[in-house]
């Protein structure tokens, strides 16, 4: 891209969008102009990519979330024009970093499930596979998180307030989604380019926006009922207004169900329309040309909906069932029963009366097979989609899929041996493992250019960008003092950058020479942010008892959002913020330990946190975390893991060695055994210092502004301790104290981090996508 061409394009886009010179625009407008100029550059290749895969089987990733993050730097890096663009903008007097910060994080996802989807799309395009995404164009992200007096307060996240250069509206492909005869909306598609590294393949993420069929009632308006005149439009737009509405109310549940049906129906109609347009008369070849991956149970309605749509096309039920089963594959992301979606039949029928007959047919077919296979009726509750006046989405997803996959080795084994053991016995071989992965393009190349440069220098080339297994060739260099010093220097730079960023955004001064111990993920009790907080409170008490001792300086960083209706998660946030206020101001502790809970944690903040971490907190109760992907991002950036043998931690330890990480706590079998006879008061009484920490929740040490939150948190832990925070505390404290001791020899400590980085190759999403493509989707690259 020539500098003079880019300047002209940017200036032209500024006038086109705003009627003013680029130099007269504010930063958000300048970002839009630059983004539009980049889009102009990549569109021809995007068009070619759509053409080249036209006659072969393609895969489609159906997901309620795509946590994409900012797109500008990612697109420039993958197009390999980042250097030229930055130089051109510098010539124009533009601060690229300010321009980059002007882009809002795309409000299309929340947690690991959505970030996984984004990484998969990146890998699919990079590896030249025909992989497209389908989801919802949420007008608002899940929410912006603010802290007021230590409490989480939510406000809207209007990420589409300004024009978004990466979205292309395609009104010609608008479809009608019918919930009932009286309730119909338009689904309007917006396409986002997914740029593969090298720019040779650009795939598509198609996002649906809900609009009313009749947007304005003139007669009603003319009669003076102004609000009612746009009521239909407001009700329709609510469907795609916000990610994950609070489902603690019936109305919230109704909206979630409508969202799920809205995007699955629209996406399937889109695929059938394209299939027809390509000249196919029957549907015999549909499953030979389409593979649909259901990312958790949110898109599971695609199963009965595709059967319904095929019947409308004249395909009888049994044949439609066969086509759908050969087309669908399902990813299970949880071992927690409460996270397996179940809808009440009454609610389901009230929202989707047209779909229930097809679910009944599927269930009747399943009953017939259970009878034919002589499955004992006492076990039918492990299989039936319709039971106890409820619709079980996971059972339907397993039954009508060609493959079901877990997302880490331990997770898949637990699915097969415990959670859905009966399904595995009935359909041996259907449940398989596909360990999650992350894209090194965003989480190393883009987020950590210093470490990326070092890796390229040591390997003598940048082939690792598309083949992360090459990192293994760095393992033997861990004894090279020059290499290790360079690694430590890069980590130090990233820690200093993060310290400055946190000082500006959170107004907390942290010492970049201290251990950066970071836990960033969704706030949930099983992830045990509370246990980390209890350790900090205990460490505070120990320092107060002997402030003159030789303590290791430490900074503990949290980042997490609690779902708006998740009361206990919000109580944990309040406690951590109260703890931070105490630790950070006490005369004896403020120069030794600091606690920071970053506000509004998201992808862009994560890109600063992962490269700066010394310690990765992966401390979920064993058997509760399916995989995790944050653990992989920390590992790739040279952090050690303090964690349980849960999720992908098991495989991280296998790759990098237990000696290079800090493993603690009960394993899955011990957790199951302990659950049968557990009294939380025993570890609270027998573990030195733990009782004082727990009692501090209610003895006046910390305040909850009269809400009773901390008392409820106390009662939950002392009464049930469902996630064994107290039982695992002593083991966790011992691991944490070892970290503090080992950090005194920084060379030896960072050697462990280096070994983690050098052994992170397995955890590339490129490897995961290769496995999906070859073993589940049966798609091929364009030759």
- Active-site residue (options: 633, 733, 752, 762): 633
The pair of structure tokens assigned to 126 is 């990079």
Q: Which of 115, 416, 494, 522 is catalytic?
A: 522
Enumerate long-range contacts of 382-390, CB under 8 Å, 24 or more apart.
382/420, 382/422, 382/423, 383/422, 383/423, 383/426, 385/359, 386/345, 386/359, 386/360, 389/344, 389/345, 389/346, 390/342, 390/343, 390/344, 390/345
392 is known as an active-site residue: no
Boundaries of every domain in the chain: 53-69+105-436+769-777, 491-746
Average pLDDT on 212-238 reads: 72
**508 and 594 Cβ atoms separated by less than 8 Å:** yes
Q: What confidence tens digit (pLDDT) does each residue in 439-478 have?
A: 999 999 999 999 999 999 999 999 999 999 999 999 999 9
Tokens of 71: 């797109």
Residue-wise over 286-324: b if at least 16 C-beta within 10 A, else e?
bbebbbbbbbbbbbbbbbbbbbbbbeeeebeeebbbebb
Under the banding of pLDDT at 50, 70 and 90, the label for residue 225 is low
Residue 218 has pLDDT above 60, yes or no: no
Give the mean pLDDT of 314-338. Answer: 94
∠ CA 358-362-365, nearest 5°, is: 135
* Set 258, 527, 608, 767: catalytic member: 527
Q: How confident is the model at residue 5 (pLDDT cuts 50, 70, 90)?
A: confident
Q: Catalytic site residue 521?
A: yes
Domain at 53-69+105-436+769-777: CATH code: 3.40.50.2000
Residue 340 near residue 394, CB atoms below 8 Å: yes
**Percent of the chain scored above 90 by pLDDT?**
91
β-strands 342-344, 615-618 pairing: unpaired
What is the CB-side half-sphere exposure of residue 163 using CA atoms within 13 A?
Answer: 17
Q: Is there a contact between 584 and 555 (Cβ–Cβ < 8 Å)?
A: no
pLDDT confidence of residue 294: 98
Buried/exposed code over 647-680 (b: 16+ C-beta within 10 A; e: otherwise): bbbbbbbebbeeebbbbbbbebebbeeeeeebeb
> What band does 243 get if pLDDT is binned at 50, 70 and 90?
confident
The whole-number pLDDT of residue 2 equals 57
CATH architecture of 491-746: 3-Layer(aba) Sandwich (3.40)
- pLDDT at residue 227 above 90? no
128-144 pLDDT, tens digit per residue, is 999 999 999 999 998 99
778 is catalytic: no
The reply to whether 53-69+105-436+769-777 and 491-746 are identical in fold is: yes
pLDDT 10s digits, 682-728? 999 999 999 999 999 999 999 999 999 999 999 999 999 999 999 99
The per-residue pLDDT for range 256-277, each reduced to its tens digit, is: 999 999 999 999 999 999 999 9
DSSP 3-state of 583: helix
Containing H/E element for 304? helix 302-312
pLDDT of residue 585 exceeding 80, the answer is yes
| pLDDT, mean of residues 185-199 | 97
Q: How confident is the model at residue 246 (pLDDT cuts 50, 70, 90)?
A: confident
Mean pLDDT of 43-64: 94
Task: Please tell me which residue in 204, 412, 435, 629 is annotated as part of the active site.
Answer: 629
pLDDT at 230: 62
State the greatest distance between any 2 C-alpha atoms of the chain, in Å, as a whole number.
82
Is 629 among the catalytic positions? yes
pTM of structure: 0.96
Question: Regarding beta strands 183-195 and 202-211, do their DSSP bridges make them parallel or antiparallel, or are they unpaired?
Answer: antiparallel
Q: Which pairs with CB-CB distance under 8 Å and at least 24 residues apart come from 176-179?
A: 176/213, 177/210, 177/261, 177/262, 177/265, 177/266, 177/269, 178/265, 178/354, 179/258, 179/261, 179/351, 179/352, 179/354
Is 527 designated active site?
yes
Q: 267 in helix, strand or coil? A: helix
Reported confidence tier of residue 223, pLDDT bands at 50, 70, 90:
low
Q: What is the mean pLDDT of residues 164-188?
A: 95
Q: What is the mean pLDDT of residues 390-416?
A: 97
The token duo for 57 is 């089987």
What's the pLDDT at 220?
A: 64
Strands (E), 171-253: 175-180, 183-195, 202-211
Lowest mean pLDDT among 45-54, 144-153, 687-696: 45-54
Terminal Cα-to-Cα distance of the chain (whole angstroms): 27
Q: Yes or no: say if 62 and 264 are a contact pair by the CB < 8 Å rule.
A: yes
Cα–Cα nearest to 763, from 610, 546, 589: 610
Residue 219, pLDDT score: 66
Choice among 206, 258, 333, 767 that is catalytic: 333
Q: Which two tokens stand for residue 552?
A: 């290791």
Active-site annotation holds for 231 = no
What are the tens digits of pLDDT across the range 528-556?
A: 999 999 999 999 999 999 999 999 999 99
Residue matched to tokens 């409460």: 338
What is the per-residue pLDDT across 278-291, written as a single tens digit (0 to 9) for each? 988 899 999 999 99
């Amino acid at each position: 891209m020539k500098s003079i061409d880019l300047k002209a394009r940017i200036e032209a886009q500024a006038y086109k969008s705003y009627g003013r010179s680029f130099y007269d625009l504010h930063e958000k407008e300048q970002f839009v102009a630059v983004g539009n100029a980049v889009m102009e550059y990549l569109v021809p290749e995007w068009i070619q990519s759509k053409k080249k895969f036209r006659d072969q089987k393609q895969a489609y990733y159906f997901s309620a979330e795509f946590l994409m993050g900012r797109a500008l730097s990612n697109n420039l890096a993958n197009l390999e024009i980042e250097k030229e663009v930055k130089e051109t903008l510098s010539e124009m007097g533009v601060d690229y970093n300010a321009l980059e910060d002007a882009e809002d994080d795309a409000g299309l996802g929340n947690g690991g499930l959505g970030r996984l989807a984004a990484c998969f799309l990146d890998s699919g395009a990079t590896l030249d596979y025909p992989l497209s995404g389908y989801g919802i164009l949420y007008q608002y992200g899940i929410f912006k998180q603010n802290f007021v007096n230590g409490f989480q307060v939510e406000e809207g996240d209007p990420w589409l307030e300004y024009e978004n250069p990466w979205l292309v509206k395609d009104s010609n492909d608008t479809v009608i989604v019918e919930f009932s005869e009286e309730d119909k909306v338009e689904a309007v598609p917006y396409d986002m380019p997914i740029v593969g590294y090298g720019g040779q393949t650009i795939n598509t993420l198609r996002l649906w926006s809900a609009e009313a069929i009749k947007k304005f009632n003139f007669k009603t308006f003319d009669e003076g009922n102004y609000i009612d005149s746009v009521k239909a439009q407001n009700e329709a737009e609510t469907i795609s207004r916000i990610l994950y509405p609070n489902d603690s109310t019936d109305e919230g549940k109704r909206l979630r169900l409508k969202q799920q049906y809205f995007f699955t129906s629209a996406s399937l109609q889109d695929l059938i329309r394209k299939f027809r347009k390509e000249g196919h008369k029957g549907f015999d070849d549909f499953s030979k040309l389409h593979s649909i991956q259901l990312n958790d149970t949110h898109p599971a309605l695609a199963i009965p909906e595709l059967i319904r749509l095929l019947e409308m096309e004249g395909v009888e039920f049994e044949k439609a069932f066969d086509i759908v089963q050969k087309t669908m594959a399902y990813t299970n992301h949880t071992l927690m029963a409460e996270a397996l979606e179940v809808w009440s039949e009454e609610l389901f029928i009230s929202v989707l009366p047209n779909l229930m007959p097809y679910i009944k047919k599927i269930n009747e077919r399943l009953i017939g097979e259970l009878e034919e296979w002589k499955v004992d009726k006492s076990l039918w509750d492990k299989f039936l989609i319709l039971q106890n006046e409820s619709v079980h989405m996971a059972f339907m997803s397993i039954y009508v899929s060609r493959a079901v996959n877990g997302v880490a080795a331990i997770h898949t084994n637990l699915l097969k041996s415990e959670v859905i053991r009966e399904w595995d016995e009935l359909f041996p071989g259907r449940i398989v493992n596909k360990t999650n992965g992350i894209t090194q393009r965003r989480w190393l190349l883009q987020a950590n250019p210093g470490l990326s440069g070092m890796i390229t220098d040591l390997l003598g080339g940048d082939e690792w960008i598309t083949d992360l297994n090459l990192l293994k060739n760095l393992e033997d260099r861990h004894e090279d003092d020059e290499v290790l010093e360079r690694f430590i220097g890069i980590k130090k730079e990233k820690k200093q950058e993060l310290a400055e960023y946190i000082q500006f955004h959170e107004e907390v001064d942290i010492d970049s020479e201290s251990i950066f111990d970071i836990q960033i993920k969704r706030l949930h009790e099983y992830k045990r942010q509370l246990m980390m907080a209890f350790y900090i409170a205990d460490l505070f008490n120990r320092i107060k008892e002997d402030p003159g001792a030789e303590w290791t300086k430490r900074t503990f960083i949290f980042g997490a959002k609690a779902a708006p209706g998740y009361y206990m998660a919000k109580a944990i946030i309040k406690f951590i913020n109260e703890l931070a206020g105490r630790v950070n101001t006490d005369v004896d502790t403020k120069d030794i330990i600091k606690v920071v809970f970053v506000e509004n944690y998201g992808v862009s903040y994560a890109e600063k946190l992962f490269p700066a971490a010394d310690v990765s907190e992966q401390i979920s109760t064993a058997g509760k975390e399916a995989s995790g992907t944050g653990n992989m991002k920390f590992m790739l950036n040279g952090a050690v893991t303090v964690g349980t043998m849960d999720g992908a931690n098991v495989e991280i330890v296998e790759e990098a060695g237990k000696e290079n990480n800090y493993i603690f706590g009960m394993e899955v079998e011990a957790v199951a055994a302990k659950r049968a006879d557990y009294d939380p008061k025993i570890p609270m009484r027998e573990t030195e210092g733990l009782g004082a920490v727990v009692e501090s929740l209610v003895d006046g040490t910390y305040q909850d502004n009269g809400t009773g939150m901390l008392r409820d948190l106390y009662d939950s832990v002392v009464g049930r301790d469902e996630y064994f925070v107290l039982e695992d505390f002593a083991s966790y404290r011992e691991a944490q104290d070892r970290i503090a001791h080992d950090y005194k020899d920084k060379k030896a400590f960072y050697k462990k981090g280096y070994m983690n980085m050098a052994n992170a190759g397995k955890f590339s999403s490129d490897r995961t996508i290769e496995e999906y493509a070859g073993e589940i989707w049966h798609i091929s690259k364009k030759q």
